[in-house]
Amino acid sequence: MKKSAITIPLLLVATLSTIVFGRRYAAERQEGMDDNQLVSGSELQEYSQLSKDTSENPTGSDGDMETNEELLEDYEGREDTLSIYERLDYLSLLKNQVTLAFYGDIDLEEDWAVTLTDRLTTQTSNDLVVLDHTFPNYDTYQLYIEQTVEGLTSDNPDIIIYGLPALPDKVRDIGLSETEEFMTTLLTSLTVAEETELYLLEPYPIINEINQLNSRSLDYRSYLNRMRDVAEERDIPILPLHSGFIESSNAEDLAPFYEEGTNELNDAGTERVNTVLEELFSEPR
């Protein structure tokens, strides 16, 4: 009986404490929930404003849109004389995206090609898609017999840069008439789509192959000259990197532009190629 008298007051105190602390905890929890709701509401307001701003001007500032419209109008006024850089930009503005394909004897991993690709990207206002249909060291026979054009034309690029395989044809030791035949067939396939523009890119000089003759007493420049003739007959523009490189060097000795004893460009040679290409891609047509 005495033990029960002591226990009952203790239980009563414990019960009252539980009620007090329980109410306090509930109040603090509700306050925390209210704070969270306020933060969420603020974030929602900011998000709504951002969504509104984006929907009102989805492509950028009004100034940018006006600039693009002015550029487009300028390009349309002189469309027949646009440089390659300008043509790419014009098509990117007109279609929101422009596609450029590299084809033939080009190695896109060479430093000059990487620099060119980066430069082309910076010259377009909208997206530039670069397609790799290159076949380094392929000659005209290989390009023809392996039907390499089919994959390229199915992608329907806006512009094609075709690296002329002058050295590979010399190495295969084929006749100039065969080079002309295979190249003519390739060009016929590449120019089927009227909306696609084709440019033929000469190789840069291959220093250790100059005057190195095959069994037909031809060096790579003989094949390059025949390729130029075919292009001119078909009125296809040529980007004269080979002759431009030699002319801009202002010297008969090309050795300073190559790694010693090789056909590989050194830093000076890469810079020279980039300089010539910058001029060629900037020239009005």
- Kindly give the interhelix angle for 84-95 and 62-77, rounded to the nearest 10 degrees: 120
Strands of 238-239's sheet, edge to edge? 127-134, 97-104, 159-163, 197-201, 238-239
Q: How do the domains of the chain map onto residue ranges?
A: 1-47, 64-282
* Residue whose tokens read 């084709």: 198
Of the given ranges (36-45, 106-115, 143-152), which has the lowest mean pLDDT?
Answer: 36-45
Report the C-alpha gap between 241 and 231 in whole angstroms: 15
Q: Which tens digit of pLDDT belongs to each residue from 76-97? A: 999 999 999 999 999 999 999 9
Q: Which tens digit of pLDDT belongs to each residue from 256-278? A: 999 999 999 999 999 999 999 99
25 — pLDDT class (breaks 50, 70, 90): very low
Say what the pTM is: 0.78
Domain 64-282 sits in CATH at 3.40.50.1110
Q: What is the mean pLDDT of residues 99-105?
A: 98
The pLDDT of residue 253 is 87
Question: In terms of residues, how long is the chain?
Answer: 285
pLDDT(52) > 70: no
Of the given ranges (15-24, 153-162, 181-190, 195-204), which has the lowest mean pLDDT?
Answer: 15-24
64 — pLDDT class (breaks 50, 70, 90): confident
62 — pLDDT class (breaks 50, 70, 90): low
Tell me the sheet residues that pair with 98: 128
Report the C-alpha gap between 224 and 193 in whole angstroms: 25
Q: Which tens digit of pLDDT belongs to each residue from 213-251? A: 999 999 999 999 999 999 999 999 999 999 999 998 876
Q: What is the mean pLDDT of residues 100-107?
A: 98
